[in-house]
Structure 1
Amino acid sequence: MYYVNQEQIAVRLATIPEITEALSVLAANWKGDLLQGLAQERALHLAIETVTDVGSYLIDGFIMRDASSYEDIVEITAGEGVFPGELQDTLVELVKLRRAIVQDYYAWPRAELHPLTKTLIEALPAFKSAVEGYLEREL
């Protein structure tokens, strides 16, 4: 029997509607000012952390192979059927932003609307639903 920390997964998945709402408002009202740029950066960062945290809990709980990178977390969980394959490319693209946002933040183009801002409005809720469905099936 596996020990899957469903409580921590649920807490993290519960942030997705707020992140999605923020991304939606930003995309609809983008002017490229500093506050919007910082808000977008933070929303993307929260999306990255949510996806990787949930993936890590799933990998640990279901004793999947160890991940060697953030991209690997997405690839392992996709390979295990946690979410549909069509989400994989978007989620890999998302987690690849982590270095730029967390380490190279001084060079982040804050005045630009990042293409993932619009894409994640649908992708994040799909990820949430897929993870919840996976947990129902596997547990």
Structure 2
Amino acid sequence: MYYVNQEQIERRLNAIPDIAAGLRHAEASWDGGVGCGFIQERALHLGIEVVTDVGSYLIDGFIMRDASSYEDILDIIHEEKVMSAANHEVLTRLVRLRKPLVQEYFDWERQSLHPLTVELPVVLETFAAEVRDYLKREL
């Protein structure tokens, strides 16, 4: 029997609508200014954290193989049929932004709309549905 911390997974998935709204707001009001840039930056960062946190909870709870990196978290849950190949591809591009956003933030391009800002809201919403479906199926 698995112990999957569904409460913590759900808390993180419940943050996705706000993250998606922030990304949509950044896109709709994009003016190249620092305010929109910071909204975009924070929403992308939170998207990374949600996806990797949820992935880690699934890996731990279902005793999947250990992940060696943020990208590996996504590879593992994709291999375990938690998410589609299309979402895996987009979310892998997202987690590759973690180092630039968190460690190299002084070089982050805040004056440009990042392509993932447009693409990510729907992908995150789909990811949440896929995780919930996976939990129903496996538990």
Partner of 1:133 in structure 2? 133
> Paired residues, what number?
139
Counterpart mapping for 1:78-89 below 5 A: 78-89=78-89
Q: Give the Cα–Cα distance (whole angstroms) in 2 for the partners of residues 29 and 42 of structure 1.
A: 15
Q: How far is 1:85 from its partner? A: 1.2
Report whether the alignment pairs 1:65 with 2:92: no
Taking the aligned partners of 2:108 and 2:45, their CA distance within structure 1 comes to: 12
TM-score by length of 2: 0.99
Question: CA offsets, 1:93-131, max 9 Å, x none?
Answer: 000000000000000000010000000021000000000
**TM-fit CA distance, 1:32:** 1.1
Match of 2:116 in 1: 116
Return the alpha-carbon distance in structure 2 between the equivalents of residues 44 and 67 of structure 1: 22
**Counterparts of 2:79 and 2:111 in 1: how far apart (Å)?**
36
In structure 1, C-alpha distance between the alignment counterparts of 2:80 and 2:86, rounded to whole Å: 14
Partner of 1:107: 107
What is the DSSP-based 3-state SS (H/G/I as helix, E as strand, rest coil) of the residue aligned with 1:113? coil
Give the superposition deviation at 1:92: 0.3
Question: Residue 2 of structure 2 aligns with which residue?
Answer: 2
Shift of 1:68: 0.2
Amino-acid identity (%): 56
Deviation at 1:86, TM superposition (A): 1.2
Residue range with higher mean Cα deviation, 92-101 or 30-39: 30-39
Question: Normalising by structure 1, what TM-score?
Answer: 0.99
1:75 aligned partner: 75
List 4+ stretches of structure 1 deviating above 3 A: none
Distance in 2 separating the partners of 1:85 and 1:128: 15
How much is the aligned-residue C-alpha RMSD, in angstroms?
0.5
Superposition pairs of residues 1-80 of structure 1, within 5 angstroms: 1-80=1-80
In the alignment, structure 2 segments of 5+ residues that lack a partner are none
1:32-81 CA-partner distances (Å, limit 9, x unpaired): 10111111100000000000000000000000000000000000000100
